[in-house]
């Protein structure tokens, strides 16, 4: 994941963010859960919403757990099928 780490470091520098505060694995885990259990296009939107919540002071791990739980309980994906277990 060197390319990803380099990208995140560059983006943090560009946006003047503290790289140490970026929970990359947490964001990727939530995106994976949403992509697999809801719909692929939901992954980047959910990652953005996670960022909004964190920007407003929410704990990233708590929000990620809530979103992953919601995705896990989602009854039907956007394509109208039940997500594979």
What confidence tens digit (pLDDT) does each residue in 12-26 have?
A: 999 999 999 999 999
**Is pTM, for the whole model, over 0.95?**
no
Question: pLDDT tens across 38-63, in order?
Answer: 999 999 999 999 999 999 999 999 99
CA dihedral for 50, 51, 54, 56, sign (positive or negative): negative
**CA-based torsion, 39, 42, 46, 48: positive or negative:** positive
What pLDDT, on the 0 to 100 scale, is given for residue 20?
Answer: 94
SS3 content of the chain, % helix, strand, coil (to 5): 70, 0, 30
Region 28-40: what's the mean pLDDT? 94
- The Cα–Cα gap between 78 and 37 comes to 10
Which is more confidently placed, 81 or 65?
65
pLDDT of residue 85: 45
């Amino acid at each position: 994941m060197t390319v990803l780490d380099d990208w995140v470091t560059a983006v943090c520098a560009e946006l003047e963010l503290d790289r140490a505060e970026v929970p990359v694995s947490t964001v990727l885990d939530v995106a994976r859960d949403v992509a697999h259990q809801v719909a692929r296009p939901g992954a980047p939107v959910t990652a953005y919403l996670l960022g909004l919540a964190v920007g407003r002071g929410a704990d990233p791990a708590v929000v990620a757990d809530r979103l992953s739980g919601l995705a896990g309980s989602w009854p039907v994906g956007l394509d109208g099928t039940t997500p594979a277990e």
